[in-house]
Structure 1
Amino acid sequence: MAYRYLLLVARHDAVRIGRTLKGLGPVLAVVVAAAAVAGAVAWAEVPARLSLHGGFVDISAYRYGGRLVLDGLPLYGSRDPATNLRFTYPPFAALPMAPLALLPFWLVTALWTAASVGALAGVILVVGRALRRPVPGWLVALLTAGAFALEPVWQNLTFGQINLLLMLAVLVDLTYPERRWSGVLVGIAAGVKLTPLVFVVLLVLAGRRTTAGRALLAFAGTVAIGFATIPGSARTYWADNLVKAGRVGPPELAHNQSVFGTLTRLLDGVPPTLLWLAVAGPLALAIVALGAVWWRRGDRVLGAGFGALAMLLASPVSWSHHWVWAVPVGLALWTHSRWASLLWTAVFVARPFVWPPWGDRREYGWGPIEHVLGNAYLIAALVLYLWAAVRLRAHGTGPAPGRSRRGSPPRSLPARRDFGAVRGTP
């Protein structure tokens, strides 16, 4: 009897796994295709890969950091010979990069691209489930491929950036905080790139203090691991590099869509630290507070999105490819307002910040219209903040009841629309 029962369970699981893989077939096809293209491009361009736009330069810098760890050399102070870039992340981030230094560049690029595209598809799945809008495999593949049109997404893929992977980790924790170990992924993400610490504030304001505490403990663990494995580099980073915003590039560059970058361009020079804090601090706090309200009222995706926007505005340097959070925010907006979602997405497809002259400090010569275009992502975030605040005010601002068993939205917010309820996708 026990044997027959185990056989029946195994059969049931096999059928369920088969159905899942069948539903995700289009997604796997997109991932494999992207990885194959990335590997072929890297193989063909190894001697002159920097001539390609993007050129996978960031993954090259990651591998260089991993090589320094393997060789026992200081992590900071030198530059990757292939890209002339420094490794700028916390010491903990270099440790998982060490195995990449042992693999050929074309293979690393293919694997990294596959992981990034897979993370993007995972984000779409997580968003759909968090919004109680199941997304079939074909639609996940369609939205994943469509997201390539957004500038932050394709920049991540061509540069070989880590943002898509971190976004998935954070979203899993923020949309499913009831899990036993929720918060750990946020802490690890912060250990890799610091800025996700903003989500700890969001969790506290949203009433998830235990999850926030778990995130802080996980982050402290990453710091301790850094000191235990590469103590010299850890001391250098936390004592010196942490406060050097300019170490990652010129802050006035148009691609820096943060408050610090905007002030630098407006003032034709780096703003005083107190002025930057006086502007960025209250603004980021207001945005993350609004995110906490939306989170508590049932839309955890949009709430997390506002936390991400606060993070992007508060950071001294938020390159345009850091704005991959445009994807989950756009999907969340689609369930509230099609026009808001389409307009939001259009900004990140058009990338107006490169329309004015940029580079070589030409940003210092911008006129009023060029400043509006050149700070498009930041302005879009502020407009979204105003829209969301007005919408909350129109539908009441008191605490909303929790979700029903079927996951229906709070009564005080208008009913959401399915991703596939109308022709077209965001």
Structure 2
Amino acid sequence: MSTVVVPEAPVERRLPAPLWWSVLSGLLLLVVFAGYTVWAGIWTSTGIYLEDFKSYVATGQAVRAGAPLYEPGVSHLPTIGGTFKYTPFAAGVFVALTLVPKLLLPMLALLVNLFSLLAVVWISLGQQGYARDHGRVAATAALTALALPLQPVLMNFTAGQVNLVLLVLVLADLTGRNRWWTGVGVGVAAGIKLIPGIFVIYLLATRRFRAAAVAVGAFAVTALAGFVALPGDSKAFWAANLADPSRITGDSDAMSPENQSIRGALARLLGIADVPGPIWIPVAGVVALAALWIAVRAHREGRELLAVSVIGATMVLVTPWTWTHYWVWFIPFFAMAAGGALRSRTWWPAAILTLTYLLTFAWKVGAGRSNVPLVGLVILPENYPTAAQALAHTLYVLLALALLALAAARPAWLNPSKEDFIPTT
């Protein structure tokens, strides 16, 4: 009869680290990065590169000038409706961008996103039990290179969005060691974009009450800082209907393929532009409860990366409006699936991973405004068959639901716990 031997130190897996692989992975990252600079040049020539990042800079300038941020028809920011979409605290953070020389701003946006992407992959590999060695460095470079051309990731780079930064804040906060400050990352992320507040529910469900209190406290500090620095704007922001998607998009039409949420999928399926809450909220609620159960079970089994990733995917699914670039939460799943395929003794996991990768790759499907490329099957234009459009326009929602099902059925394959590494004799 075999007995379980508990080692004094955690058992760690080691990734292959031959010299040729380390060199090849580094070269792959450099080649992809060089390719991105060409891509960025196409967008720069049209004047719409880093549009969202430019709006952050403009918001910082508006704060310094004392201009209003949230008044329709009065605020004149380069955003939909001319108003700022994030919290007053976020507006205060963006003031720092106005202190950076203008010529360096594009490089800053690029490097922040690149290092955030590298950090997400590095953390994801570590949470699968891989040691901090050359093999993990090489794998991080290779997976980062492969992740950058994924449509949600590429559009974060192209627009200069903050989603990768928020992902790192939450992932590093909740997958690291439990310390007295655990929860601060969640609170700060929610203080910038609100929706990461869902992780407080996850912390409560896993009975980490101190971390939940820290997260709420950190969020409260960001809100208080906003009221101290920008009292008028803070009153306008918090008095608004924050759940109204038209605040973000300018109208209540949920049918755009850019809306990759449950609400958007139901709007397109039912043909109802402004799908009412009594239809989509119960569906989103059922998915959220199922996902919370999956996450709590994963947490109890020591699979924290999987648990946090499940909640992150759920967060994006249940929001009223989900831009495709919100789906950077696919990256931890991508890293987990890559690790699972490497550990597997059969070919089908690698085949499914490859197919999924190809479905989310930034394929050119048409031309958009200013003749810039439209990329990603998820926004397939109208000149394609209706059936293909219907499937493509719900692609990320279907993929996320499939990942939740996989997390429920094969959690050890995605995120092995420390106990999975313990040998038997």
Find the aligned partners of 2:82 and 2:419 in 1 and give their Cα distance.
48
From 103, 108, 115, give the equivalent of 1:111: 108
Aligned position for 2:299: 295
2:420 paired residue among 397, 403, 409: 409
1:390 is displaced (CA, Å) by: 2.9
Spell out, residue by residue over 1:394-413, the C-alpha distance to the aligned partner (whole angstroms, 9 max, x if none).
x8xxxxxx96xxx34378xx
Give the 5 Å matches for 1:303-382: 303-337=307-341, 338-339=349-350, 340-349=352-361, 351-357=376-382, 369-382=388-401
Cα contact 1:38–1:110 (8 A) shared by 2: no
> Whole-Å Cα distance in 2 between the matches of residues 31 and 205 of structure 1?
44
Matched residues in 2 for 1:56 and 1:306: separation?
Answer: 29
Question: 1:45-102: CA deviations, max 9, x gaps?
Answer: 4xx512xxxx210001111111111111211132324887532001111111012124
Contact 1:175 1:300 in 2 (8 A): yes
Tell me how large the CA RMSD over aligned residues is.
Answer: 3.4
TM-score using structure 2 length: 0.77
Using the TM superposition, name which of 280-289 and 225-234 deviates more: 280-289
Pairwise CA distance, 1:30: 5.2
Partner of 1:263: 266
1:142 partner SS: helix
Q: 3-state DSSP class of the match of 1:243?
A: coil
* Structure 2: stretches of 5+ with no match in the other structure: 1-21, 342-348, 364-375
Following the alignment from structure 1 to structure 2, what is the Cα–Cα distance between the partners of residues 98 and 277? 36
In the alignment, does 2:74 pair up with 1:74?
no
Question: In structure 1, how many angstroms separate the alpha carbons of the residues matched to 2:294 and 2:284?
Answer: 15
- What is the deviation of 1:236? 0.9
Pick closer, same or farther for the CA change 1:230–1:163 going to 2, 3 Å: same
Q: Secondary structure at the match of 1:122?
A: helix
Unaligned runs of 5+ in 1: 1-21, 396-401, 416-426
Inter-partner Cα distance in structure 1 for 2:289 and 2:99: 42
How far, CA to CA, are the matches of 1:44 and 1:387 in structure 2? 40
User: Would the alpha carbon gap of residues 248 and 105 (structure 1) be closer, same or farther in structure 2, given more than 3 Å must change?
Assistant: farther
Gap change, CA 1:252 and 1:101, over 3 Å in 2: farther
2:186 paired with 1:167: no
Whether the 8 Å CA contact 1:251–1:317 is kept in 2: the answer is yes
In 2 relative to 1, CA 296–342 (structure 1 residues): closer, same or farther, beyond 3 Å? farther
Structure 1 residues 257 and 63, CA gap change in structure 2 (3 angstroms): same
Q: 1:319 to 1:196 in 2, by over 3 A?
A: same
Equivalent-residue separation in structure 2 for 1:133 and 1:143 (angstroms): 14
Partner of 1:253: 256
The CA deviation string for residues 78-132 of structure 1, in whole angstroms up to 9 with x for no partner, is: 2324887532001111111012124344411211110110011011111121211
The one-letter amino acid of 2:262's match is: V
In the alignment, which residue of structure 2 is the partner of 1:49? Answer: 47
1:391 to 385, 410, 423: 410
Aligned partners of 2:316 and 2:327 also within 8 Å: yes
- Contact 2:263 2:320 (C-alpha < 8 Å) held by counterparts: yes
Q: Is the 8 A contact 1:183 1:214 kept in 2?
A: yes
Task: State the alpha-carbon separation in 1 of the partners of residues 166 and 31 from structure 2.
Answer: 18
More contact order relative to length (CA 8 Å, sep ≥ 6)? 2
